[in-house]
Structure 1
Amino acid sequence: MHNDFSGTADQAFQAGGDITINDYRSPARERPPEMTYQPPAAPLRFVNRAQELNALRGQLTGGSTAMVVLSGMPGVGTSSTALRSAEDMGDLYPGGVLYVDFAELAGASGGGADVRGAQSHVLRSAFGVADRYLSVPGAELAARYRDKTRERGPILLVLENVTHPAQASALIPAAAGSAVVVTSHRRLEELVMDGAHLMPLEPLDAPHALELLATLCGAHRVASEAQAAARLVERCQGLPLALKVVGARLAGRPRLGLAFVLEELEAESGRLAALSNGSDDPRHSVSAALGVACRHLPPAALRLYRLLGLLPGRTFHLDAAVALDDSDRAAVGPLLEELRAASLVDEKIVAGRPTGRYAMHDLVRLHARALAETDDGQARHAALCRLVDHYTVRTAFADRAVMPADRLRITDHSVLLAGHEDPFPGPDARDRALDWLEAERAGALGVLRTAVARGLDRQAAELAEGLTALYLNHRHLTDWIESGRLGAEAAARLGNRALEARLRSLLSRPLMDIGSSGEARKELDRALELADGTPDLVLRASVREFSARYWDAYEPAAALAQYEEALALNAEAGQWRGVALVLYFMGCTQDATGEHGRALATLADAHDRLAAIGDRRMAGRALAALGVAHVHAGNTRIAVRILMRAAWALRRQRARPYEAQVRETLADLALRDGSRTPARRQLARALELHALDGGPKEAELRERLEALGEG
């Protein structure tokens, strides 16, 4: 029995029909009859490892004994790559190609696979040493192994499913010019001290994953259902074993549609089961293969692995793992390192430095979650509550760092953040907090869904309010709408009228941006009703400001009336930032209705007030509006200077949607003047910004830029 935990086992194929079988192996080489060749045959279906095979050959043919460690998550194809390299390079080693599968040895013995058993296996199978000469003390057996491997000449030794460095280092052949290829789901970094070269394997990229799927179920089926095939590859995340399970099923049922199989994989709840086929054989089941990788984890690392399955996203920060584990960084850091060494998580490195962020392959995360769901329900709920609390607090700190201190917030930060250490200290706090929010965008929204599902309405509403610090700077409209709705509904269940009013008024902005003005109006009407039922003057002013921005598009006179009400309420409350914000929006409305002189004065006043209180983001927006008002007043040269200042101010604040607007205006002005090169430059920057956020104008800007042609 050959235990291949990397998904290399051949599947049964039906001859004829629509099934295409391709043999990617190199032509068979003639070997001397006396040459020993022990490894199993490499798989027929093998794609996209040419770079790794070339690198592996280069490492092994350096002259002295060499070792390469092929590592990666279970099912990634380490075994396939090792066996292919043995076939391709076997004739370079006159001493033969020897093979040990530690998983097979462990299965045969019923226990662990030790070095002694592996040495005995090689001596018996490759050198014909009788068993009576193998029952000797360990040191003598090791000496006999060295003698025999020295006598044979250069040997290529393939060691599969190695779990401990000693298993490989003790089997290095003694003959000069020998080489060792090791496969393992563990990184085995200690083998570097024995001269090993580490070669981690990644899942296949999309084109080669599609190629593998096509070789399994037929190229024309993949071509005829190209969209479904692409989604299947995405759901398998390029993992060869997962693709082989899918491909084998399709090959066995030639009339089965790819779209039907895709439906089974779309829902996370059934994906792992669909990729396991009820098998407990790690060669044919993603779940079983991942289970093998977990066997050697220490109990504390296995517990953390199960808890990480509760995370809603592919990436997470160390501190989220700390919250789940209910411990501290000193305890969790080594456990994450153990999981990284086992190829179950991947550490994110940027510019050569660790970021504190980790990633899990989707199928690994689903396997961990399946294990977690067998744990005690109360313990699982407690862990999820800790995770929700962590995100709620961390997002509030990020909101505080990104947005001005006197921003309207219904959540009481003095209560929520009490006793917690600020994770964003220092002069660059705003940038780091915004980076964290962007990195946690998917995870935070997933945690918000979890909070709602678990009945944690307070945390859900507070988390939704905090996330608007991200959405106001990076306009992820779809996320904002979902977050706003979930948060507002949670606040309604709590009976927190102020927080519900705040979230509904904020929700009106992305709804307006996607053209859902009717829904925006409903949210604003409800927000006005709720806010006016509270004594909070600033909240009532803020909701009127949002309502006025709605009326800007339909009845400017109604908008100006509501701005006046908001101005009075803010002044009565002594909320001078609110006064400055209302002046800014009022000035924009005045400019839009043709009152350019009044608009210039109002916007200049707004800019000066915002700059004085240190609100650089809104001061940049006011400066941009002032520039546009100068355009409308016919002061083009003044307008360009002001708009250039505004663009750079907004860029420094990383206010992407507003910088993009300014860049488009500058491009229009340049084209009006016949200056195509500056226009291209401004449009290219606007396109870059919209592409980052997936903005609705991305396609339009791309067309405009293409229409301008090359420079």
Structure 2
Amino acid sequence: MPQHVANSLPGTVHGQIAQVGSVHGGITFNYHSAQAPDQVPRRPDQVPRPPHRFVDREWALAELDGALAGAEETGGCPIGVFSGLPGIGKTAAARQWAHRHRERFPGGQFYVDFGALAGGAGGDVSEALAMCLRGLGVYDSYLPARLADRAALYRTLSADRRMLVVLDDVSRPAQVTALLPQGAGSAVLATSTWRLGELALDGAALLHLDVLDRESSLELLAALCEQRRVDAEPEAAAELVGLCGGLPMAVRLCAARLLTHRRLTIGALVGELADEQSRFGRIGASSGREERTMVAALEVVYRDLSDTAATVYRAVGCLPSRAFDTALTALVSGYSREAAQEALDTLEAASLLTATEDGRYSVHDLVRLHAREMSRRLDPPGTEREVVRRVSGHYRALALLADLAVRADRLRITEPVEVLGAGVREPGSGDAGPFANSESPRRDALDWLEAERGDVLAVLRAAAAFGFDRQAWQLAESFTVLFLHHRHLAEWRESLELGAAAANRDGQPAAEARLRSLLSRPLLDLGRDDEAREHLEAADQLAVESGRVVLQASVQEFLGRYWDRHDPARAADAYRASLMLNLQAGEGRGATLARYFLGCAQSVGGDHAAALAALAEAREDLLARGDARMAARVLADLGRTRARLGDVAGAVADLRQAVTELRGEGASHYEARALEDLADLLDDPAEARDCLRRALVVYKEGGSPRAADVLSRLVGD
């Protein structure tokens, strides 16, 4: 890779990634932001369009038509499975069928790529259910934590829809059966390199895709690189598709080369490809013919790349992330943005990568493996490690900037100046990085983290695997701000486990304590309370060893959250300890939050007078700090405490005001809870029903399971 490349990026960035060293001035990010809850489409249309020039699979599509129609007549949810080799066209066939039958599914088309989801312990299925529930209109705040509860809610919400669910890159039958919708006329279409024969017991139509026949391969070649060229060299064209082995991806690679090199004849390309197949046959006799075909086709295309494009290709193969843009490509290859963009254009024209709708690029897994192998063969030792080092540092900086934009005064062990350099102003100064100059830096930062979630986790895994422990735990710490708002529990848990282990290896007890205490949150949500307690007890000891009083206070607050579930008295003791430690450290906001949680615990425990005092003081301080959202939450708990004391008039007044404030802050979940509590206290049945109706609207819009309870109350009245 070229050396001594300056880290400078003036102007405007188009895409989701910017190379960050020392940041001077503003950086503008143009990317597809996540939809606001009230913008969730009523008819999801998530399946990507099929590729240009689809051929041959008409028999499979027709067979699928018949199988799904027959299954629909017998009841239940029909399942179709396309299986076959990588690069055989399974995904293309599934997308083509979905595209042709859009009108058949008025409830929408849902799409999950299991290849992009983290596996292990059902985490991929859980996240797939979350993706579908979001498509059905469920807010993150209402997503159940447990896999079984998500599956139950999915069945409920899909019961009145006629919908199609397309599942790409499935590896286990459970990934399909967990996502079967309940609505009459719905269907599931999956793709897999495995045949998934177990699904036959569920009535699935198992359609194994073989290689293209000669005629179909010629049809695809002619469609991609012009019929006249095929007609001019019919024998050579027939030999070429024969050498491609009927693999659509290999045909597309060859067609792209013919298109980009107008003077290259089909006969000359046949000679090149034949030589490569012979060479790989000699050195890889144990490989299958299809594998040798793909490698040979990739070698032919690769050999024709310019030095710059070849270097970028190899660097892309070393990326742990599945998607990338020009800025990241420039960072890992060492080229300027202009040179990197030119190389990406070349690689796209050669069909070695695909431009995505958000302005980034992706590569097929087989192409990625080939690019990585070429890097290991041709680049200096340690090149892949260097790419991971650069990428992990890059994402660490951007994740920290996003974290600062969401909450600059949040407790963090990472020192911003260590990651960002002295060029970024102090947090809270109004210019803490690329999100600070947007109209809504907090929202844009969370949207960026959500859009990059899968790639950030992939980078975190790679950083930990290569021993970049400092980058790993600092990235995990900043990354957790996303999960505090969007609770992807399996990914949250994994990122914190990786971060805590990295902090331990890095000899950073404060960081390990912080990450272990944060880890208790997803573990509690997942119902793994014993594990949460173990991590909290270890975090408590590490925090004391670190000598950081504020960190000790934070761990005590997390312990209080644990004891809230098991022993309210011990919870109150933990919150008192947190309050005293925060006051000792001069941490005002931490003390206020500890006082708030203490008041809630005292109220539940029956000490209502002390609870009122603690909650009133917490609300006053939060208002002084400009934290209207948290202040409104405190006011609602003040109302609940007054109700427990028998002060109905005071409780009604507090809850009325809390509803107004929470609505103004867009805190719909807390607003609905306050409305339910208010309805319980009102003497006027009509007003109480109005409160419940409003709560029902909020719960229905967010997909909350509480909607059913509120509806039963309304019907019962």
- TM-score after normalising by structure 1: 0.57
C-alpha distance in 2 between matches for 1:345 and 1:456: 28
Task: Report the secondary structure of 1:533's partner residue.
Answer: helix
1:552 aligned to which of 564, 568, 572? 564
Residue of structure 1 equivalent to 2:701:
685
- What letter corresponds to residue 456 of structure 2 in structure 1? A
Distance of aligned partners of 1:46 and 1:324 in 2 relative to their CA distance in 1, 3 Å threshold: closer
Q: How does 1:402-417 map to 2 (within 5 A)?
A: 402-403=406-407, 405-417=408-420
CA deviations 1:132-152 (Å, max 9, x no partner) are: xxxxxxxxxxxxxxxxxxxxx
Residue of structure 2 equivalent to 1:69:
none
Residue of structure 2 equivalent to 1:389:
393
- What letter corresponds to residue 338 of structure 2 in structure 1? A
Q: How does 1:188-587 map to 2 (within 5 A)?
A: 277-279=288-290, 282=293, 285=294, 287-291=295-299, 294-349=302-357, 355-374=358-377, 375-403=379-407, 405-418=408-421, 422-426=433-437, 427-587=439-599
Instruction: Report how far residue 593 of structure 1 moved.
Output: 2.3
C-alpha distance in 1 between matches for 2:516 and 2:260: 62
CA deviations 1:340-365 (Å, max 9, x no partner) are: 3344444444xxxxx55433444443
Distance of aligned partners of 1:170 and 1:446 in 2 relative to their CA distance in 1, 3 Å threshold: closer
Task: Report the secondary structure of 2:448's partner residue.
Answer: helix
C-alpha distance in 1 between matches for 2:234 and 2:397: 46
Instruction: Report how far residue 107 of structure 1 moved.
Output: 10
Instruction: Report how far residue 436 of structure 1 moved.
Output: 1.6
Instruction: Report how far residue 336 of structure 1 moved.
Output: 2.6
Which of structures 1 and 2 has the bigger CA Rg? 1
C-alpha distance in 2 between matches for 1:463 and 1:532: 23
Residue of structure 2 equivalent to 1:220:
none
CA deviations 1:660-681 (Å, max 9, x no partner) are: 3543554676699345643431
2:655–2:675: 8 Å Cα contact kept in structure 1? no
1:464–1:487: 8 Å Cα contact kept in structure 2? yes
C-alpha distance in 2 between matches for 1:702 and 1:370: 53
Residue of structure 2 equivalent to 1:660:
669
Distance of aligned partners of 1:591 and 1:338 in 2 relative to their CA distance in 1, 3 Å threshold: farther
2:600 aligned to which of 588, 592, 599? 588
C-alpha distance in 2 between matches for 1:81 and 1:703: 55
- Greater mean alpha carbon deviation, residues 553-562 or residues 480-489: 553-562
Residue of structure 2 equivalent to 1:83:
219
1:686–1:701: 8 Å Cα contact kept in structure 2? no
| Two-structure CA RMSD over aligned residues (Å) | 4.8
1:488–1:504: 8 Å Cα contact kept in structure 2? yes
- TM-score after normalising by structure 2: 0.57
Task: Report the secondary structure of 2:665's partner residue.
Answer: helix
Distance of aligned partners of 1:544 and 1:677 in 2 relative to their CA distance in 1, 3 Å threshold: closer
1:505–1:527: 8 Å Cα contact kept in structure 2? yes
Residue of structure 1 equivalent to 2:255:
161
Q: How does 1:31-70 map to 2 (within 5 A)?
A: none
C-alpha distance in 1 between matches for 2:675 and 2:456: 36
Distance of aligned partners of 1:103 and 1:709 in 2 relative to their CA distance in 1, 3 Å threshold: farther
Distance of aligned partners of 1:167 and 1:400 in 2 relative to their CA distance in 1, 3 Å threshold: closer
Distance of aligned partners of 1:575 and 1:160 in 2 relative to their CA distance in 1, 3 Å threshold: closer
C-alpha distance in 2 between matches for 1:417 and 1:103: 60
Instruction: Report how far residue 501 of structure 1 moved.
Output: 1.0
Task: Report the secondary structure of 1:377's partner residue.
Answer: coil
1:588–1:599: 8 Å Cα contact kept in structure 2? yes
- What letter corresponds to residue 529 of structure 1 in structure 2? Q
Task: Report the secondary structure of 2:361's partner residue.
Answer: strand
- What letter corresponds to residue 440 of structure 1 in structure 2? E
Task: Report the secondary structure of 1:472's partner residue.
Answer: helix
Distance of aligned partners of 1:100 and 1:452 in 2 relative to their CA distance in 1, 3 Å threshold: same
Distance of aligned partners of 1:389 and 1:50 in 2 relative to their CA distance in 1, 3 Å threshold: closer
- Greater mean alpha carbon deviation, residues 365-374 or residues 509-518: 365-374
Distance of aligned partners of 1:523 and 1:23 in 2 relative to their CA distance in 1, 3 Å threshold: closer
Distance of aligned partners of 1:81 and 1:48 in 2 relative to their CA distance in 1, 3 Å threshold: farther
Instruction: Report how far residue 518 of structure 1 moved.
Output: 0.8
Instruction: Report how far residue 410 of structure 1 moved.
Output: 1.1
- What letter corresponds to residue 320 of structure 2 in structure 1? P
2:655–2:678: 8 Å Cα contact kept in structure 1? no
C-alpha distance in 2 between matches for 1:643 and 1:50: 48
Task: Report the secondary structure of 2:546's partner residue.
Answer: coil
- What letter corresponds to residue 323 of structure 2 in structure 1? T
C-alpha distance in 2 between matches for 1:643 and 1:609: 20
2:593–2:618: 8 Å Cα contact kept in structure 1? yes
C-alpha distance in 2 between matches for 1:371 and 1:303: 10
- Greater mean alpha carbon deviation, residues 437-446 or residues 301-310: 301-310
1:610 and 2:626 matched = no
2:53–2:220: 8 Å Cα contact kept in structure 1? no
Distance of aligned partners of 1:570 and 1:53 in 2 relative to their CA distance in 1, 3 Å threshold: closer
Instruction: Report how far residue 291 of structure 1 moved.
Output: 4.8
Distance of aligned partners of 1:616 and 1:358 in 2 relative to their CA distance in 1, 3 Å threshold: farther
C-alpha distance in 2 between matches for 1:611 and 1:344: 56
- What letter corresponds to residue 603 of structure 2 in structure 1? D
Instruction: Report how far residue 576 of structure 1 moved.
Output: 0.7
- What letter corresponds to residue 277 of structure 1 in structure 2? G
Residue of structure 1 equivalent to 2:661:
645
CA deviations 1:86-144 (Å, max 9, x no partner) are: 99xxxxxxxx99844889759989xxxxxxxxxxxxxxxxxxxxxxxxxxxxxxxxxxx
2:256–2:349: 8 Å Cα contact kept in structure 1? no
C-alpha distance in 1 between matches for 2:700 and 2:536: 36
Question: Relative contact order: is structure 1 or structure 2 higher (C-alpha 8 Å, sep ≥ 6)?
Answer: 2
Instruction: Report how far residue 638 of structure 1 moved.
Output: 4.0
Task: Report the secondary structure of 2:611's partner residue.
Answer: helix
- Greater mean alpha carbon deviation, residues 540-549 or residues 676-685: 676-685
Instruction: Report how far residue 550 of structure 1 moved.
Output: 1.4
Instruction: Report how far residue 498 of structure 1 moved.
Output: 1.0
Distance of aligned partners of 1:462 and 1:703 in 2 relative to their CA distance in 1, 3 Å threshold: same
Distance of aligned partners of 1:709 and 1:295 in 2 relative to their CA distance in 1, 3 Å threshold: farther
Identify unmatched segments of 5+ residues in structure 2. 1-51, 66-88, 102-209, 241-252, 266-283, 425-432
Task: Report the secondary structure of 2:324's partner residue.
Answer: strand
- What letter corresponds to residue 301 of structure 1 in structure 2? A
Instruction: Report how far residue 627 of structure 1 moved.
Output: 5.4
C-alpha distance in 2 between matches for 1:377 and 1:170: 35
Task: Report the secondary structure of 1:161's partner residue.
Answer: helix
